[in-house]
Chains A and B, each alone.
Chain A
Amino acid sequence: MVDLETRSELRQLAILLIVDVAFYFLAIPAGILDPEGMSMDQGLPPSFAAKLVAILAGALMVSRCLQLVFFGRPAAPELIGDSSEAPEITADDDAAPAGVPQRGLLGMLAGLAFAYVLTPVIGFFPAGFVLLVVLLRVLGENRPAFLFLPPVIVSVLVWGLFEQLLSIRLPDGMLFGG
């Protein structure tokens, strides 16, 4: 009987293995066309690195699956001043929250809408203003002055810095752009 954590890890491994197989058999043949007749004297073919990565990832995941199924989850080793047994170097592990990230999901949707819809259509600055207002509202700001004034200030600062000082013209939209 496997515990919940192991089952969750096995599920992740299964999904990633499917993605890996699809990458090897579908994405690589469709995305990388090796020049015909390329020999080893001319160096490695362009698809070599991609295939190697897919094989390495697959082998790693299969061996981890086998380890979990047959030997279970290994106990965390004690730290004895050996860096090979040190914990993770990022704070990402602590970052895994519980429950559905509602505001985070709304933020992601707003960000993607800003990048893919609003900026190409109405331009960077109006889109940025809308994004700021939406995000501030999602994050709990209700006071009108605090909802609209900071986005104006941020937009003016970005405009002043990028367009005036650095002469970097940010994207215009189809509607308002030149």
Chain B
Amino acid sequence: MDLILEGLSLSFTLESLLAISLGVAAGQILGAIPGLTASMAVALLIPYSFYFSPWIGIPMLLGMFKGSFFGASTTAILIRTPGTPAAAATVLDGYPLAQQGKGTKAMKMALYSSVFGDTFSDICLIFFASMLALVALSFGPAEYTVLIALALGSLGMLSSRPAWKGIIAMLMGVTVGMIGLDPITATERLTFGNPELEEGIGLIPMLIGFLAVSEVFRQMDDPADELSGHAIHFSSKPEDNRVSWPEFRSCIPVLFRSSTLGTIIGAMPGLGATVAAFIAYGEARRTSKKPEEFGKGSLEGIAAPEAANNAVSGSNLIPLLAFGIPGDIAAALILGAFMIQGINVGPLAFSENPVPLYAIYGALILANLVNLVLGFGLVRVSRFVFKVPRRLLLASVLVIASAGSYALRGSLFDIQLVFVFGVLGFVMMRYGFPTVPLLIGFILMPLLEENLRTVLLLASTYDEGLLFVFMRPAFLSMTVILISVGSYIAWRRRRHRRAALPTADS
């Protein structure tokens, strides 16, 4: 108990609070800029954090990491331009709600969900870090393959009408995801000798091009009087600018489910917040009592991806703190900062010197509270900023998005891709092809292919061949869970259909 209090006393200081506030504010602003990801925000701050003591520098980094997730959602909601890839799924319902004049409500729902997801995963981190890390690390290529294939299939099938357009869009995304070097043999694929394509297509140009730039091109043909008006219309009705308790309460089951999903996915190395957000969105839509509202401004549709992507931010520290293994780039950067500041993480840290770990836990919880408070400020500022004339906003989005897409890899080619994808997205929208499945296909394809091919390589080393996967306890457990869930869904659907069929009397 003394050790816990000693740890908390390190993070619950005025200096630490100020550092967290600065980090969260900077994270929210940087996250809102298209192209600047959470990892990039952390990377940008690391050099400055070394000038401070560990218990100012580290809380600032953690605050920035958390703040960037909510910041990214504001632009996703208001102008269909996700600040980071993790906020791409928030566009689906956030933007339609903002178009109805309820942008403030959408942003507040995103804020509450973000803080909920963050806090949920931090609590899991504090109490179940070692256990969750063990489960996560027992997942291998076979388990990943099944998980990703299921996510890809379910999200693709449900995403459009007629369904073939959604599936074709997804296959297009899968094809774009193949461009670059083959993950096993390092052979060039579909690069046609262009050295710029060897690294593959960047996710940022894809997201900005297909979501933001194509939307700008589409809106350019809106009536002239609308273009000269305010960029975003905010309703003046109080109920359109707040999330009421009944509305929030109706989202609580989704928040718990999505936070759990995000926490589990975040604890697994390599999947990340974007995948978690899309999977949680698909799951929320599948289990919702009002699936027809999804895509039209459903609060559940905002709550699910926001809770999930923020839950990842806490849980990707699970393998880091428990075993010293970073789950993604941001966690690796934070590990670097820990090491340079002389903070040890991993199994020995828990037994030998746990005080810094408790201090980190304290900073994480404090950062969530600060994120909530400053988030309200960002909502107000956003309302003010987006009162600029719409035509100025549309034009500015193209320039800012170009700069953001250049920032990550420093490649002019990425700016060019943004506009090529913008045109392609515009054409797809005109002919009724949804762009979101394309992005999902692109995001999941490399993960699926790499894991599937690793499974096949592993299978060749076993006498049982591919059946070796059934010798893995994690695979067996997952198969049993998936079959049980699948059977339950099938049973529920049949019950729904029976209930919907007219009786002989009627």
The interface of chain A, by Cβ under 8 A from chain B, is: 9, 12, 16, 23, 27, 30-35, 38, 40-44, 46-47, 49-50, 53, 56-57, 60-61, 64, 76, 78-84, 86-93, 95-97, 101-104, 106-108, 111-112, 114-116, 119-120, 124, 128, 131-132, 135-136, 138-141, 150-151, 154-155, 158, 161-162, 166, 168-171
Contact = CB atoms under 8 A, between A and B. Distances in A.
Given A61-B164, A95-B218, A162 B403 contact: yes
Given A115-B416, A119-B415, A136-B391, A83 B291 contact: yes
B398 A135 contact: yes
Contacts of B295: 87-91
Main secondary structure of the interface of B (DSSP, over half): helix
A92 B432 contact: yes
B429 A112 contact: no
Shortest 6 CB-CB distances between A and B: which pairs?
A: A139-B391, A86-B291, A135-B395, A46-B182, A31-B190, A80-B500
A139 B485 CA distance: 52
B210 to A, nearest CB: 10
B158 A103 contact: no
Contact of B429 (A16, A64, A95): A95
A154 B403 CA distance: 12
Contacts of B453: 43-44
A162 B407 contact: yes
Interface of A is mostly: helix
Count class of interface residues, chain B: 35 or more
Contact of A90 (B44, B415, B435): B435
A30 to B, nearest CB: 7
A107 B216 contact: yes
Contacts of A128: 399, 402-403
Contact of B160 (A88, A114, A116, A140): A88
B496 interface: yes
Interface string B316-357: 000000000000000000000000000000000000000000
A138 B95 CA distance: 25
Contacts of A124: 402-403, 406
Interface in B183-224: 184-185, 187-192, 213, 215-218, 220-221, 224
B174 A49 contact: yes
B220 A50 contact: no
Given A90-B435, A135-B394, 20 more contacts: A30-B192, A32-B188, A32-B190, A43-B453, A53-B171, A60-B164, A64-B164, A78-B500, A83-B286, A87-B161, A91-B96, A92-B428, A101-B430, A103-B220, A114-B419, A115-B415, A120-B412, A139-B394, A140-B227, A166-B30
